[in-house]
Each structure stands twice: as C-alpha cells, then as structure tokens.
Structure 1
Amino acid sequence: MVGGPAEKGLAQEIVATGGAGVRDLTGTDLRNGVLAMAAAGVAISNDSGLMHIAAALGTPTMGIFGPTDPYLWAPLNGLAATLVQDKEKLSCQPCQSTVCKVNDHRCMRNIAASEVVGIAERVLGEAGARVTN
C-alpha cells in the first residue's frame, strides 16, 4: 500500500486485512512508491502519478477511474486495464475534481472490490503471471 501521510490509517486497515503479503509504504518518500511499482506483480491504483509510473516501468497496471476520464488518462502500457463504475449514470462524471461536492464520490464507491479483483486477475493472466494467495 503506497500513499501519502493522510492514507496511513487506511493503509493500516488494509495491512491488517491483507496479511503478511501487504506492506504499508505510506509516507512522504516518493522513492518508496516508485520502488513498489517496479516490484509489484500488478499495480492497482486510482488515476494518479504512481499509476503512470507503474505503467511506464512496464508493471501490469489497473487504473480505477471515477472523477477522471480513462479515455484521456488511461495508463499507457500494453499490460493495462481500466475500470469505471457502470452501476448508475452519474451526470457529474467525469468532473475532473478531487473533492466531490455532489455524490459523495459515488463514481468510486460504486466500484465493488470483487470487480477490482476480477480485472486484476485478468491483467495478471495476460501478463503471464500466476496469482498466488
């Protein structure tokens, strides 16, 4: 789990749930994020700089898009996939804003973890990697 200092609490929850294979690399040192993207079997990210770094490094990458448009900002990598919620039509999407003033980020909250896992497994499969638990 990579992210800024504000994500420390969330990272601790994810590490506690994910077990020994999950590491908390949140903080202010961007090098940790870059090294994590290089070492990852698959990078799962919102539309962010680290998503694009992972794609540039050749890491199989999955971009989750809500307020931004994957048509414009999808990772440029042959081993990449994008995910956008399709449960409901949101008139505000894409808004290009990091602060939701309309729908409490439903564009992201409507994406189920099972969808993310399914696409991540497909990305790994296409990369010829094995998914191990």
Structure 2
Amino acid sequence: MFSINFLDHVAIRVKNMNESIKWYSNVLGLKKYQLEKWGEFPVFMLSGKIGVAIFPANLDDEKLNQLSKNIKIDHFAFNVSNIDFKKAQEYFNSINEPFQFQDHHYFRSIYLKDPDNHTVELTTLVVDDDLFYT
C-alpha cells in the first residue's frame, strides 16, 4: 500500500492570529512561514516539516463547547527526544508556562494550552523503539 512518515500539520482556527503566532514561536520555538501566493493565511508555524497551520476564526459563528468529547480536534502532538522532553519542561517552568505531565507507560507527555485553549502535547518514547514499534 503506502507509508505515512510523520504528522505534517494540524489546522486550527484562532481568535487572534498575532497572539497565536507569538505563542507558538515563543513557547514552542516554531518558525513562521507565510507564503505570498496564499495571502494572509494560513500561517504555518513549523519545526522542520512538522507544525500547525493557523487560520482566523469566524467569531460570528456559534461557539463550540471546549469541554465536549464529541467530534473535534482533541489535541495534537509533537514527538521530541527524551533529552528535549526534559529541556522543554525546564524551559516552560522558566517562562511560567503551565503544563501537565502524564506517564503513558511507553510514552511520557506534557500538555499545554495555546491562547485559544487548543491542547498541544509534547511526547517522548521511554522504551526501546523496537519494543514498541513491532
């Protein structure tokens, strides 16, 4: 058939483009890409080839219940090394960025909220690749 290599991007809608671009740059260190032929949006915030595409929200549309477990993007995750996982926690603590830690046995994750309350996960594998990906 075919193989998928990695998460390319997740598209999100935000209330304030500039605030979200600043958060993804300052908190996660993502680089801004804005392509002339596409106009004002989307704005891609990338780490290498992985990231989020940011679109403006239509604030006149009906609001969604953020606590709903119904159909929606629940969260998106960026994979990091074990070393970078520790560095990320230290960095978030140094800038007073709140996060939650979870141990998923095979993975460890930290969860953050962006300015629009999207859940962003950084995750790292803590067992041998061959033991998990068989």
- Common fold by TM > 0.5: no
Of Structure 1 and Structure 2, which has the larger fraction of its residues in strand? 2
Instruction: Find the structure with the greater CA-based Rg.
Output: 2
Q: TM-score, normalised by structure 2?
A: 0.25
Of Structure 1 and Structure 2, which has the larger fraction of its residues in helix? 1
Q: TM-score, normalised by structure 1?
A: 0.25
